[in-house]
Structures are given as C-alpha cells and as structure tokens.
Amino acid sequence: MKMTDQCKVTVDSGVCKMITVIDAKENEMGLVELSIKSDCPHVLMMSWNVQPVCAYTEVEAPMCETDVYKLATKYLPHAACPVPCGMVKAIEVAGNLGLKRDVSVKIE
C-alpha cells in the first residue's frame, strides 16, 4: 500500500441502510477537499457546509475540535452515525497521513 493524495470511502451506516460515498483529494494548496454523496438527508445537509481542511490539523485535533465533528454535532441526529469517522479517515489518507486500509465495526 502506498500513500496517496486521494481516496474514496464508502460508509454503510447499518440499520438505517443509508450509504454514503466520500471522495477526498488534496488540492494544489495542500488542503483536503471532500465530495460527499449520501442517501441520508442529514449527511447531505452536513456535506453542503464542509470546507477544505488541513489534514494534519484535522487528524491531530481532539475529536470535539475537528471541523468534521463540529458539523456532525450540528447536523446529525445521533452520535452513533459512522459517517464522521469515515470522513476523518478519508482526510487522513488523502492528506498523506495514513494508508488505504479498511476499518470495521462488528456488532454481535
């Protein structure tokens, strides 16, 4: 696996059956831009307010201080939504701070 300046993350949110696709790429200024498509109207409203971010600042900040989680707090109706985590992972990879590697949550 090699580091890259772009990636695609697909989040299946589980019981709500909402799918979100996050495309992330680093722009010429070194900021990561997210393009988000989702079945969820709350995620879509959130996505309209997402601005390009510095990957290092976003990934290294305390969770409650990230731009992503601030927007999630404002737009998403419940804390268990996995989309914000997917967004941060996309930022991490596109910002060359992490490798493309799947994450998972298994509920038994």
pLDDT digit string, tens, across residues 9-24: 999 998 899 999 999 9
DSSP one-letter string for 58-101: HHHS-GGGSHHHHHHHHH-S-TT-SHHHHHHHHHHHHTTSS---
- Domain extent listing, the chain: 6-94
34-90 pLDDT per residue, tens: 999 999 999 999 999 999 999 999 999 999 999 999 999 999 999 999 999 999 999
| CATH no., domain 6-94 | 3.90.1010
Confidence of residue 4 (pLDDT cuts 50, 70, 90): low
Give yes or no for residue 101 having a pLDDT over 70: yes
Query: Is there a contact between 14 and 86 (Cβ–Cβ < 8 Å)?
Result: no
Query: Which of 63, 57, 68 has its CA nearest to residue 97?
Result: 57
Give yes or no for residue 28 having a pLDDT over 50: yes
| Distance from chain centroid for Cα 87 | 0
User: Would you call 33 helix, strand, or coil by DSSP?
Assistant: strand
Confidence of residue 1 (pLDDT cuts 50, 70, 90): very low
pTM higher than 0.85: yes
